[in-house]
Structure 1
Amino acid sequence: MSKPDSNDFKIVVLISGSGSNLQAILDNIESGNIDAKITAVISNRANAYGLERAEKYGIDAKVLDHTHYESREEFDLELQTLIDSYTPDLIVLAGFMRILSDGFVEHYNGKLINIHPSLLPLYKGLDTHQRALTDKQSDHGASVHFVIPELDAGKVIIQGIVDIKEDDDAESLAQRVHQIEHKIYPHAVKILAEGRLAYNNGDVLYDGKPMLDSLKKRLTDS
């Protein structure tokens, strides 16, 4: 992915809820850490607080209610049309609680990223925090990855790692995972906006070299 002219790197963010990862990215754009512009925030739920976050920054906040469509494919096609009207360089899934159709994912091959609350390939799907605790793992975390048709199986860009404490429950562990998410997601967006990451048919180049392992970041890292 080559770098467009300064601040011409356009992002569309898809949300379903509060948009805390959206806010983390907005904060990094505002501080100058990320040289990019979010052109639209789209939610499938009208009451998503993330829409208010977008409006505070003068960003287009759009609602596309999936319950108004007869099929997932019909909804995805309408969503695709809306996204394409903004000609984005990157689409960021930030708590977008919809499984996307293969056609939608393939349309944005190499331009669609997601964050998942586990150290992939461990714990794809739901209830990741409790599953890590049940398995008595020593650490846990979150992964930013490219989206492919297979769920939570795309190439991982960066992982944030947190230690699991003896007194952790799923809620306390989730809180610390959220903290590391707010560090690693902006970093992934940053290196994509800088053109340092290239995606081609499932292969990823980082600074021009094959990316054999994902970047790592612990919660205690600066």
Structure 2
Amino acid sequence: MTDVLIQARNLSRAYHNGREQICVLQGLSLELRAGESVAVIGPSGSGKSTLLNLLNGLLPPDSGELQLFGRTHSLLTDSDWAELRRTRIATLFQDGNLIPTLTVSRNIAFRAGLAGLQEHEGRALLEQLDIADTAHRYPDQLSGGQRQRAALACAFAMRPALILADEPTGSLDYATAQRVAPLFFDAIRERALGALIVTHNPELAQRCDRILELREGALRPWDSAVSS
């Protein structure tokens, strides 16, 4: 694949705590192409969630260059970002982020509808994820693992170009994660999606095409020998 979905150079982002400025990201660079999955690992507080929020437009960088789908972040309006999140960028949060007043099937239909799709493959996705029996349940009637799989179905039903995932199998038990992970990565490759996956799970990270470590505000290729 040659299509570059994310191109970031020297991104920086800081927070202010009173008079103190805390640099979370500093000099961060990243390239992600269609059909490629990249894992981002790092300790809690290293800036992984901040990175995801920069890439989906919920936070602006303080400095640096960021392009998504060939479009420069500084030229994107709030409406542009909202459209990208509706149609091209699927963000998977740890809590599933389902609408509590809609059943699982209606959550999927709603998500696909936001992307402009009148038809979707929600039923097939629920069957593949082994939660077809949850279609008419509400999110509060599901286990954490079921909610996470329902969120995966919502994400794939919108047919995005880019998936940003925060621990996409974090609420799954080991056996279920072993079944779901191959489906997740098969879908990424078959649909030529780009995926940036934040995770503490080494097995999940090693399924990705590349593993990057977020350390001292920047991304570096993961060196397993150093980490161990």
TM-score of the aligned structures, taking structure 1 as reference length: 0.31
Higher relative contact order (CA 8 A, sep 6+): 2
TM-score by length of 2: 0.30
